[in-house]
Amino acid sequence: MPRTRAGFTLAVIAAASLTGCGVGGAGTGSSQQTVASDAPLKGAITFQTWSLKNDKFTPYFTALIKDFETQHPGTTVNWVDQPGDGYADKVSSQVTSDSLPDVINLPQDIAHSVAKVGGLLDLSKNVPTLAQDYVHSGVAAYTYPDLGGDGFAFPWYLGTDVSFWNKAMLQRDGLDPAKLPKTFDELVAQAKVMHDASGGKDYLMSRPPGLSDIVNSGTPLMTPDGKKFDFSSAPAAAMLDKYTAAYAAGYLPSNVLTSTYEGNSALFTKQEVAWTTGGGNYIQSTTQSNPTLAPQIVPSPALDTPPLYVQGISVAAKSKNLPLALAFGRFVTDDANQKAFIKLAPGFLPGSAASANDPAYSKSDGTAQGDASVIAYQDMQKAVIFTPPVWTDAMNTFLNQQVALAMTGKESAKQALDNAVSRANQLLGQ
């Protein structure tokens, strides 16, 4: 619900500022300007992070900023942190009131809406080595073909999904934790074993299909020119049919299609479901909420292609001190600082090219959390971003409704996908 609203306000702003600004993009504050690289660094800037001010990360940022200020005497960096909730709304209010901080931590979708109104500096114009210095998937995430810019952020930290299994539940129902499913078909087969052995009480699967499953069936979401959705294919329909059959056989909890569905990770922590996907740090965070469950968790690579989550550091196009902002943005995302950051965030990977290939990330310390971090590192190599920036919550809600209709047998898989495509295209045109 809050996300829907955020998307909506951003859209309103985008519309308002587009009509308001017209063709005035040429002067100062343009996203395509180049910044003199030899300008002396002095003055003050503001640096905004998202939900990183706490016992764990505050010392890191204080030290980071102090480091920078010592290296460049006469500069000041003011650090602000925004709470996790309502970030899209907060950023949009900063955009409208021209108070966007000089250096900002933005995820890929929020960055897109800010870049759309010309709020972010196109880094490829100012950092010639952007493509070599940072991991390819990270740079690609902030390249928006519809806006004609290549790289609106320095890739910072990257995350992906890993599969997590409840060892005790698997063993109770006669499944071998050493032979975990690797494909969707194996998953369904083991879900059947678990269902039959527990008399329908335990579940392995607890996630209705979504956009990622459509992509994993080999179907591109959009037409090659990126202008329209086109994902109603035979393989996607076949995938949906498999889910429908599994649902009808009782391998998924019946409430996954209703609003009472709590999500697979909530059901996993309640130990009603033996499989979930989660970020590389899932075991660590479960240790906090459910200490007795954490030792039971076995990680394994994600089924099919894993999703990629990116956080980036952007520079505001309207910053009053662009040379300093640009320098600080590069400083935060350089090798050494990214490595130090990831030490605090196990299961995530740095976005700088040199540190991403560090062999240290492919060695586990022997704990389950260490294994999960290594699996996350391996998953990351082939992870892709499933959700295009133009995909909205309204489209997602409609897709979920159609999927629910198909899985309860009220319409065919083909029909459901066709409806979702036409509705998404209709929303896209608005």
Partner 1 sequence: MTALSERIETPPAPARAPARRPARRRRSPVFDAVTPLGLTARYLTLLVILAVTVGPMLWELSTSLKSVFEDVYTATPQLLPQRPTLDNYSQVARTVPIAHFALNSVIVAALCVGGNLLGATAAGYALARLHFRGRRLMLGLFLSTLVLPGEVTIISQYQTVTRLGLGNSLVGVALPAMIGALNVLLMRNAFLAIPAEVEEAAVIDGATVWQRLRHIALPSVKGTLSVIAILTFIGAWDDFLWPLLVLQSPDKLTLTVGLSYLQSVFAADPRIIAAGAMIALLPILALFVALQRFFFRGVGEGAVKG
For partner 1, the closer of residues 239 and 252 by Cβ is 252
Output 141 or 345, the one with its CB closest to partner 1.
345
Least distance to partner 1, CB of residue 184, Å? 27
* Residue (248 or 344) nearer to partner 1, CB: 344
CB of 245 to partner 1, least distance (A): 27
CA distance 205 to 303: 12
Q: How far is the CB of 337 from partner 1 (least distance, A)?
A: 17
Q: Are 279 and 348 in contact (CB under 8 A)?
A: yes
Q: What's phi and psi for 25, nearest 5 deg?
A: -80, -5
Nearer to partner 1, 20 or 409 (CB): 20
> Considering the complex, what minimum distance in angstroms separates the CB of residue 10 from partner 1?
10
Q: Could you list the residues that contact partner 1 (CB under 8 A)?
A: 2, 5, 8-9, 12-13, 50-57, 80-86, 89-90, 92-93, 96-97, 99, 266, 269-272, 281, 285, 288-293, 344-345
Minimum Å gap between C-beta 183 and partner 1 is 29
Amino acid at 282: Y
Q: Which residue's CB is nearer to partner 1, number 203 or number 231?
A: 203
Smallest separation, CB 272 to partner 1 (Å):
6
Between 203 and 377, CB nearer to partner 1: 203
Q: How far is the CB of 396 from partner 1 (least distance, A)?
A: 18
Cα gap 300→379, rounded to integer Å: 10
Distance in Å, CB of 80 to partner 1, minimum: 7
Residue (272 or 358) nearer to partner 1, CB: 272
CA distance 272 to 290: 14
Is residue 198 a contact partner of residue 337, using CB atoms and an 8 Å limit? no
Nearer to partner 1, 142 or 203 (CB): 203
Q: Minimal distance in Å, beta carbon 48 to partner 1?
A: 10
Rounded least distance, CB 269 to partner 1, Å: 4
Q: Which is nearer to partner 1, 35 or 293 (CB)?
A: 293
Q: Which H, E and C letters describe the chain, residue by residue?
A: CHHHHHHHHHHHHHHHHHHHHCCCCCCCCCCCCCCCCCCCCCEEEEEEEECCCCCCCHHHHHHHHHHHHHHCCCEEEEEEEECCCCHHHHHHHHHHCCCCCCEEEEEHHHHHHHHHCCCECCHHHCCCCHHHHECHHHHHHCEEHHHCEECCCEEEEEEECEEEEEHHHHHHCCCCCCCCCCCHHHHHHHHHHHHHHCCCCCECCCCCCCHHHHHHCCCCCECCCCCCECCCCHHHHHHHHHHHHHHHCCCCCHHHHCCCCCCHHHHHHCCCECEEEECCCHHHHHHHHCCCCHHHEEEECCCCCCEEEEEEEEEECCCCCHHHHHHHHHHHCCHHHHHHHHHHCCCCEECEHHHHCCHHHHCCCCCHHHHHHHHHHHHHHHCECCCCCCCCHHHHHHHHHHHHHHHCCCCCHHHHHHHHHHHHHHHHHC
Cβ distance to partner 1 smaller for residue 224 or 291: 291
Torsion sign (Cα): 112, 113, 117, 119: negative
